[in-house]
Amino acid sequence: MLISWLHLISLAAYLGSVVGLWCIVVPALSAVRDHEGQLILLARSLKYYNPFQTAALGVLVLSGAFQLTELKAAYRELFIKELGVILGWKLILSFVLIVFSTYQSMAVGHRFVRRYEAGESFSPQELQAVTRKLKITTLTILLLAVVTLWLGVQLRGR
């Protein structure tokens, strides 16, 4: 029961962070008119977003794995027959979600923050490229998360 609550809380934290990036940070960037202000806003936002998102996803994956172990014990030999197809798709989509989330956090966000804090300058085109990557990965992550969540609900309903 505790693992189920941990899973739900980490799901809410993870989705909340991704939705927050899309609904708060991205629109705020376009509201700030000067280039330096946009850099400061994005660097400060990503400095908190990246570790929070990564930690929430880690707890989500681990709590899901614990629940899967309990489910496997309950179904025993019927496990694959009853849940195999849905579970297979959920695991595949979860893996892709983890890849996109890690790419967004480490390859885009962390790299940007590290360069900014090192004092490197960014041209408006570079900032636009980072913002575009964040938008694309965020939408992809949200789509994958919704489908994965739906598959999880289907598993629980069985």
Model confidence pLDDT, tens digit, residues 3-26? 889 999 999 999 999 999 999 999
Which distant-in-sequence residues (6+ apart) come within 8 Å of 19 by Cβ? 142
Separation of alpha carbons 37 and 93, rounded Å: 37
Separation of alpha carbons 149 and 94, rounded Å: 10
pLDDT digits 0-9 by tens, 60-92: 999 998 888 777 777 677 767 766 788 889 999
Exposed, middle or buried, 67 (CB in 10 Å: 0-12/13-18/19+)? middle
Separation of alpha carbons 125 and 67, rounded Å: 45
pLDDT at position 158? 62
HSE, side-chain direction, 13 A CA sphere, residue 9:
9
What is Dmax (Cα atoms) for the chain? 62
Count of C-beta atoms within a 10 Å radius of residue 11: 20
The pLDDT > 90 percentage for the chain reads: 78
Are 83 and 158 in contact, with CB atoms under 8 Å apart? yes
Kindly state the tokens that stand for 90: 């959920």
pLDDT at position 75? 67
pLDDT at position 118? 97
